[in-house]
Copies of this chain bind each other. A is one copy, B any other.
Amino acid sequence: MSNQTIPLDAETKAIEMPDDHRDELRLWLRLLTCSTLIEGEVRRRLRDRFDVTLPRFDLMAQLDKVPEGMTLSDLSKRMMVSNGNLTSLVDRLVASGHLERRVSTTDRRAQIIKLTPAGRGEFRAMATEHEAWIAEIFGGLTQREQKDLMRLLAKTKLSARNAIMGVAP
C-alpha cells in the first residue's frame, strides 16, 4: 500500500519523507503512558486501601448505577469485556457477599446480577476515595486545561471509532 518512511533521524526533514507518521506514534505512546501510569496507581491504591482489584471495582461501579441490576450480557457490553470473563469475576463477588444473582423470571437462561446492600455500602466508600485520588492525579492541570483535554479526547475517541468501524463514505 504505502511507501514506508525512511528513518532518517529526528531533525533531518530537509529530505523528503513520503509518509511520516512518527508524530502520531509519539502521541499514541504518550496517551498510553498516561493511561498506564494512572491505572497502575489506582490499582495499587485499591489494593492497599481496600484489598480489591480494579476489575471488581469497575464491575461494582457499573452495578451501582443500576440498582435493579442487569444481566451478564448487559454487563459485558457496558464493561467492554468478554462474556466468559465475567463468569468467574461475578462468582467471586457473589462468594464474598458483594453481589447477588437470581435467575430472570422471564428468561431461564439469563441471570440478573445486582449489588447486595453490604456490597453497595462498601462500594460507595471506595468510590468516594477513588474520586479524590483521581482529582489529585489531575490536580496539576488548570480547569481550562482539563476542559481542553476533555474536548481533544472526545475528538480522539471519535477519530478512533471511525478508523475502527470504518467510516461511512
Query: A residues engaging B (CB < 8 A)?
Result: 1-2, 4-5, 7, 19, 21-28, 30-41, 80, 128, 131-141, 143, 145-146, 148-150, 152-164
Contacts and interface: CB of A to CB of B under 8 A. Distances in A.
User: Copy number in this complex?
Assistant: 2
Contacts of A158: 140
A156 B141 contact: yes
Nearest to A37: B160
Q: Which of A34, A80, A138, A161 has the most CB of B within 10 A?
A: A34
Nearest to A38: B160
B152 A80 contact: no
Contacts of A27: 138, 146, 149-150, 153
A133 B1 CA distance: 12
Q: Name A's interface SS.
A: helix
Given A149-B152, A150-B30, A152-B145, A36 B80 contact: yes
A133 B21 CA distance: 9
Given A24-B146, A141-B155, A150-B30, A132 B163 contact: no
Nearest to A143: B5
A27 B35 CA distance: 11
24 contacts: A2-B132, A19-B132, A24-B134, A24-B135, A24-B137, A27-B138, A27-B150, A27-B153, A30-B154, A30-B157, A32-B39, A34-B35, A35-B35, A35-B36, A37-B161, A38-B160, A133-B163, A137-B163, A137-B164, A138-B156, A138-B160, A139-B163, A141-B159, A149-B152
